Amino acid sequence: MRAEMDSEAPIGVFDSGVGGISVLEHLTKSFPSENFVYLGDTARLPYGTKSSQTVRMYAEQCLEHLHLRGVKSFVIACNTASSAYLEKAYKTKPVYNMIECGSLEIIQKTSGRKTLLLATKTTIQSGAYSNCLKNLNSSVELILLAAPLFVPLVEEGVLSGPLVEEVLRHTLKPVENLIAQKQLDVCLLACTHFPFLREEIEKYLGSGIEVTDSSSQLEKLLRQDKKNHIQSLRRSSSAGSLQFILTDSSDHFQKFILQRWPDRKIDFTHI
Amino acid sequence: MRAEMDSEAPIGVFDSGVGGISVLEHLTKSFPSENFVYLGDTARLPYGTKSSQTVRMYAEQCLEHLHLRGVKSFVIACNTASSAYLEKAYKTKPVYNMIECGSLEIIQKTSGRKTLLLATKTTIQSGAYSNCLKNLNSSVELILLAAPLFVPLVEEGVLSGPLVEEVLRHTLKPVENLIAQKQLDVCLLACTHFPFLREEIEKYLGSGIEVTDSSSQLEKLLRQDKKNHIQSLRRSSSAGSLQFILTDSSDHFQKFILQRWPDRKIDFTHI
């Protein structure tokens, strides 16, 4: 009875804003019958320019809120929040974070040249990726680059065009020689907002650099955990429910969601 | 005795981030012997993309914090927060807001053509400027334009160069015909972050459009109130104290401040 209740319970996903939607899109495709609750902390976004201490406090508040809503596990769909909350559980329920997934992705994709890691300032300053790769016994050479203007672009829905190109030129200037000399093999989008700019980033970096993110590894971890009985996935042929909770009202956010899941029944709540 | 204590008490100024510093710079030049306490709500910046209801809550928390520190009056050095908190007092102490100052500036500067008002989304959606101008019996024709990417640029310290130019082109696209046809006479920078981009905005708009902000009118209002004995200004020949309180730690912010007041003793606190 308990196991059944657990499997029906939703998976709780959170991010500061729309970034985590890139992760949720992957998860709803991979686990179509699962129920999801997504918390967007829009009242305090962005996280990536704030201190680790402040972001950790926000992350714990988001985890607690989702816990009170009875989720069976948590996905921190935000690299910055992940870098500030690295524990693998919250109140005995499993927590999946982006840092581990991103590190596994780098290890799998690199062919031995340098990996470019694009992230927020706070993620980079945390050192979380370097530490995680070290713990995984990897000696991949990371080039860490903060891209603080990508999040505002995505939150504003500016995903292509000359302005995106100029922001890319400005941001990638410190690595322009590495790009020109083909010294990079992988570019990890280590902020969940960035996959919305993927096509433009790919175009800018040119061929020979694989642009990737953490979602596939997250999917793998969730499937492994199912096998390990750490958590049960829902067994149903019907589509799961999708619920969105925002800490600040946002028409923009609602439009963004409705465009992405036009066929799903979606519930919005503002707290 | 009471009057003396009041005059020695600092003036409390707040904004979400560095924007209000453009106002504080003007105030410290105009009233060099006054003591100021500046609260930067960096843990929750920016305000301009959040709902009026949420921003009002943040504004009241900032006012309360400054009140507890014994300020004699408040300056809401943020148009968005001003548009969400229009009352002229908080706990019997006078509150000066940017909306009234900006409206007076428009009335003084316009020669009858259209005024371009650049602001955050939340300020524009609030309708605060249109209402204030109506209350002041003005029939100035306002062109309201949201500039949501200006704040992230300023917070990142990107104040000139090709990226700023591209953001201006993107933002001002809806009024490019009005600019070309010289149908505008004044451009009010109705967000306290924007004066840091003033030179680039002036260059972009070209001659014939006066780019201005609210600081001069704020100075006038403070001087008038002194005359009216609503509040007393400090009478001292020595330079006043400058105290900065941030809700999140920020090296970037501290550097920004120290560059601006190299000769003043400055106190930073993180709450």
Q: Where would I find the H helices in A112-229?
A: 121-126, 128-135, 150-155, 162-172, 176-180, 198-205, 215-227
The strand pairing partners of B269, in sequence order, are: B245
The reply to whether residue B149 touches residue A152, judged by beta carbons under 8 angstroms, is yes
Return the structure tokens found at B113. Answer: 């053509």
**Residue B167 touches partner A, C-beta closer than 8 Å:** yes
* Tokens representing residue B1 in the block: 């005795």
Instruction: Assess contact for B114 and B185: CB atoms under 8 A.
Output: yes
Task: Using DSSP, state whether A89 is helix, strand or coil.
Answer: strand
Nearest to A156 among B51, B149, B166 (CB): B149
Least Cα distance to A42 among A151, A194, A178, A195 occurs for A151
Residue A55 near residue A28 (C-beta atoms within 8 A): no
B145 and chain A: CB distance < 8 Å anywhere?
no
Substitution target from A41, A53, A54, A124 for chain B, most B beta carbons within 10 A: A54
What pLDDT shows up at residue A5? 46
Chain A positions in Cβ-Cβ contact with residue B247 (cut-off 8 Å): 54
Instruction: State whether residue A159 sits within 8 Å of chain B by CB.
Output: no
Check A62, A101, A187, A191 and give the catalytic one: A191
Best mutation target among B156, B159, B268 (most A Cβ atoms within 10 Å) is: B156
B44 touches chain A (CB under 8 A): yes
Contact B163 A155 (CB under 8 A): no
What's this model's pTM, rounded to 2 decimal places?
Answer: 0.91
Q: What is the pLDDT of residue A231?
A: 63
Report the complex ipTM.
0.88
Q: In which residue ranges of chain A is pLDDT below 70?
A: 1-5, 227-232
Q: Do B43 and A42 touch (CB under 8 A)?
A: no
Categorize the per-residue pLDDT at B236 as very low, low, confident or very high, splitting at 50, 70 and 90. Answer: confident
Q: How far apart are CA B192 and CA B147, in angstroms?
A: 12
Q: Are B39 and B81 in contact (CB under 8 A)?
A: no
- Inform me whether the pLDDT recorded for B39 exceeds 60: yes
Q: What are the tens digits of pLDDT across the range B140-162?
A: 999 999 999 999 999 889 999 99
- Is the pLDDT confidence value at B2 over 50? no
Contact A43 B49 (CB under 8 A): no
Work out the average pLDDT over B114-136. Answer: 96
Tens digit of each residue's pLDDT (9 = 90 or more) over A97-120: 999 999 999 999 998 889 999 999
Which domains, and CATH codes, for chain A?
2-97+216-270 (3.40.50.1860), 100-214 (3.40.50.1860)
- Reply yes or no on whether the pLDDT at B113 is more than 90: no
Q: How many residues does chain A have?
A: 271
Q: What distance in Å separates the CA atoms of residue B219 and residue B229, rounded to the nearest whole number?
A: 15
Span B242-264, pLDDT tens digits: 999 999 987 788 888 999 998 88
Chain A interface disruption, residue of B151, B166, B173, B253, most A CBs within 10 A: B166
- The answer to whether B169 faces chain A, any CB pair under 8 Å, is yes
Q: Any CB–CB contact under 8 A between B250 and chain A?
A: yes
Residues of A in contact with B170 (CB under 8 A): 158, 161-163
Which among A140, A201, A155 has a CA at the least distance from the CA of A175?
Answer: A201
